[in-house]
Amino acid sequence: MVISMCVSQWMSPAETVSPDIPFRRALAQMKQRAVHCLAVLDQGRLVGILTLGDIRHATPSDEVTRQIWTVNRTWEKVTVARIMSHVVITVDPRADVFHAVEIMLEHGISRLPVVDREGRLLGIFTSEDVYRLLAESRETNLDLDVLTAV
């Protein structure tokens, strides 16, 4: 059995969000969909990525008082655009999965949006997709070295 080593064959559907919604709504979406990131689209264009790490690192500014009601009211106003990662590293759908993994390792990321030549979001390649590839290759007794030589 031959397993395709092209990113487009292994990527997952990408969950998306608008940059202008409150981040708490985006977090609720992440929990509901059981995903660790959301691709941020503005008028259909990928403008950022929101990860659980972005949310963890977002904190109220020093001017905010410690009173819990003030913090909660302030957090309700924080949008996805304010805390998302604006620099998004992407991969071409025709790329080899090993190349995608190298990119992920080089940049210390576990999710890689897949975009076409026009910059349209097609999906997302994740560490879970890599695990699925490895599991399926083991199930079929596939030698991954053979595929890279083809």
CATH at residue 109: 3.10.580.10
Q: What is the pLDDT of residues 9-64, one digit of tens each?
A: 999 999 999 999 998 899 999 999 999 999 999 998 999 999 988 888 876 554 44
pLDDT value at 146 more than 70? no
DSSP-based three-state secondary structure for 98: helix
Q: Answer whether residue 71 is part of any domain.
A: yes
Q: Answer whether residue 36 is part of any domain.
A: yes
Q: Give yes or no for a contact between 3 and 63, defined as CB atoms under 8 angstroms apart.
A: no
Tokens 């026009």 found at: 118
Q: Answer whether residue 2 is part of any domain.
A: no
In one-letter notation, the amino acid at residue 32 is Q
Q: List C-alpha distances in Å: 128 to 62, 90, 135.
A: 37, 17, 10
Q: Answer whether residue 1 is part of any domain.
A: no
Question: How many Cβ atoms sit within 10 Å of the Cβ of residue 67?
Answer: 9
pLDDT value at 110 more than 50? yes
pTM of the prediction?
0.79
Q: Answer whether residue 118 is part of any domain.
A: yes
Give the domain extent around 67: 7-149
Q: Answer whether residue 41 is part of any domain.
A: yes
Q: Answer whether residue 22 is part of any domain.
A: yes
| Number of domains composing the chain | 1
Calpha distance 88→11 (Å, rounded): 17
